[in-house]
Amino acid sequence: MTDQASALRSMVRQESSLRRGRFVAVTSGKGGVGKTSVALNLSVFLSNMGRRVVLLDADLGTANVDVLCNLTPHANLAHVIAGRKTLAEATIEGPGGFQLIPGASGLASLAALSSFERQRLIDQMQHLDQSTDMILIDTGAGVGPNVLGFAVNADQVVVVTTPEPTAITDAYAVIKTIVRQRADADIAVLVNMVRSPYEARAVFARIETVCQRFLRVRPRLAGHVLSDPRVALAVRRRRPFVLDSPQCDATRCIGQLAHRLDRDAHEPKGVGLLRRMATWIAS
């Protein structure tokens, strides 16, 4: 364990001098709010903007980005962790040109992995970090270790919610859990499936108010995605809606979010996900 920790410290000392991509965790407090759809379509849009984008399907319980893209991967994250494939070998090209690392539904928990397995994953991600502009991580829903392992350590967290009261409550629970583990976390809220920008601002205002009152933090509004029947149609067709209906309201909303994240990517990144996760492994 001491040797592993020493090697990790050496690796992360080199990180600050290397160009690295921005890690953005896309998460939610509950399922059914469109988190994976947002992560997928955002990846496609950013790729179409000319950015080198990788989408890591880290929803270990119900990994299904490949299904939404009508892809049949021959390797996934489980093969990488087991040492049977490298991250590059498991990566496949998604629609629109982004790179997809398929998830592994059979993995119960990243926290349950051995230190050696977690170190192997970090090692693989180091190479990814140096060749990519943005790495989007589609986490699971809720506040379990699979979610927090990535969300707490990412450069930025996008919390997806909807106007439903339960979704709002659960979004606050996620923010609270992240902030308790990392007070300086960069958290933004995306309100999905709204009828109007006004509704999105009203939902965000509720979350912002309780965060300021009880957590002493102020999340940002990442944006909103309007309810659009073409989103469900694209899911049935197993295509990203930004490609299936490029002129629809939902696509325009995703475009606005993509441009915001792209601007954020040029800001100083601070310590970085790899260094924080290396500390997590060595602890």
Question: pLDDT tens for residues 16-28?
Answer: 434 467 889 999 9
pLDDT of residue 268: 55
Report which of 263, 182, 180, 260 is spatially closest to residue 215, judged by C-alpha positions: 180
pLDDT of residue 246: 98
pLDDT of residue 2: 47
Average pLDDT over residues 249-256: 98
Give the pLDDT band of residue 129 (cuts 50, 70, 90): low
**CATH superfamily entry for domain 2-282:** P-loop containing nucleotide triphosphate hydrolases (3.40.50.300)
- Which residue is associated with the tokens 């979350």? 207
Model confidence at 113: pLDDT above 70: no
Q: To 5 degrees, how large is the angle CA 101–CA 103–CA 108? A: 145
The 8-class DSSP code of residue 212 comes to I
Q: Decide: helix, strand or coil at residue 126.
A: helix
- Return phi, psi of residue 228, to 5°: -150, 125
Q: Decide: helix, strand or coil at residue 156.
A: strand
Token digits of residue 139? 């986490």
- Return phi, psi of residue 144, to 5°: -75, 175
Q: Do the Cβ atoms of 138 and 59 come closer than 8 Å?
A: yes
Rounded Cα distance, 42 and 258, in Å: 6
pLDDT of residue 143: 84
Helix (H) / strand (E) containing 279: helix 273-282
Rounded Cα distance, 91 and 127, in Å: 13
Tell me the pLDDT of the chain averaged across its residues.
86
Token digits of residue 233? 């149609």
Q: Do the Cβ atoms of 219 and 159 come closer than 8 Å?
A: yes
pLDDT of residue 1: 45
Question: pLDDT tens for residues 58-87?
Answer: 887 678 999 999 999 999 988 888 889 988
The answer for residues whose C-beta is within 8 angstroms of residue 116's C-beta and 6 or more apart is 4
The answer for residues whose C-beta is within 8 angstroms of residue 123's C-beta and 6 or more apart is 11
Model confidence at 255: pLDDT above 70: yes
pLDDT of residue 163: 98
Question: pLDDT tens for residues 178-231?
Answer: 999 999 999 999 999 999 999 999 999 999 999 999 999 999 999 999 999 999
Percent over 90 (pLDDT), the chain: 61
Domain boundaries, the chain: 2-282
Question: pLDDT tens for residues 31-45?
Answer: 999 999 999 999 999
pTM of the shown model:
0.87
User: CB burial class (10 A; 0-12, 13-18, 19+) of residue 117?
Assistant: middle
Q: Do the Cβ atoms of 163 and 226 come closer than 8 Å?
A: no
